Amino acid sequence: MKFTKMHGLGNDFIIVYGEKELPENASELAIQLCDRYFGIGADGLVYIVPSDKADFKMRIMNPDGSEAEQCGNAIRCVAKYVYDRGMIDRTDISIETIGAGAQSLQLNLKDGKVDMVRVDMGAPILKGLEVPTTIDQDRIVDYPIESEGQTFNFTAVSMGNPHCIIYVD
């Protein structure tokens, strides 16, 4: 398997191109390859596959073998990958994800290579059941949660995949 290792803001990925779709053993491969001690080590295994809705489609496998719906850093890496390798020659491109559909990206170039990528991730989802969480509230912002005798306040948000944000000092 040929791959490229890339990162966006330290969020690192194994990028694979050339498959028509996810291989049957994609989950197992992600678990093995993303392992930081016995594999390549990464936050995800990203496949660039054909799309009938966008210029490209990306499928992201998490290190635990589950499939992620979306990742802002991964989509920026995919955009740089496809442009810098001459797979597309436009600076306005679209990449399909399973969680957010086709997303528009704008590429900024420096010396003919992608220097920066802008992606509209859409409006954040804050409604509890839509993130999803088990908390049925309109917005889960600064919500208290107990863990090991401590109270933490968190915000639940989805940008195509769920996040739990806890601000710490």
Top CATH class, 4-119: alpha beta
Q: In the numeric block, which tokens belong to residue 28? A: 């197992």
Residue at 153: amino acid letter: N
Other Cβ atoms within 10 Å of 24 Cβ, number: 8
What global pTM score does this model have?
0.85
Render pLDDT for 38-63 as a digit per residue (tens, 0 to 9): 999 999 999 999 999 999 999 999 99
Domain boundaries, the chain: 4-119, 128-166
Strands 101-110 vs 113-119: parallel, antiparallel or unpaired: antiparallel
Query: CA quadruple 97, 99, 104, 109: dihedral positive or negative?
Result: negative
Backbone angles phi, psi at 132, to 5 degrees: -100, 155
Render pLDDT for 127-168 as a digit per residue (tens, 0 to 9): 989 999 999 889 999 999 999 999 999 999 988 778 899 988
Please answer whether residues 166 and 152 qualify as being in contact, where contact means their C-beta atoms are separated by less than 8 angstroms: yes
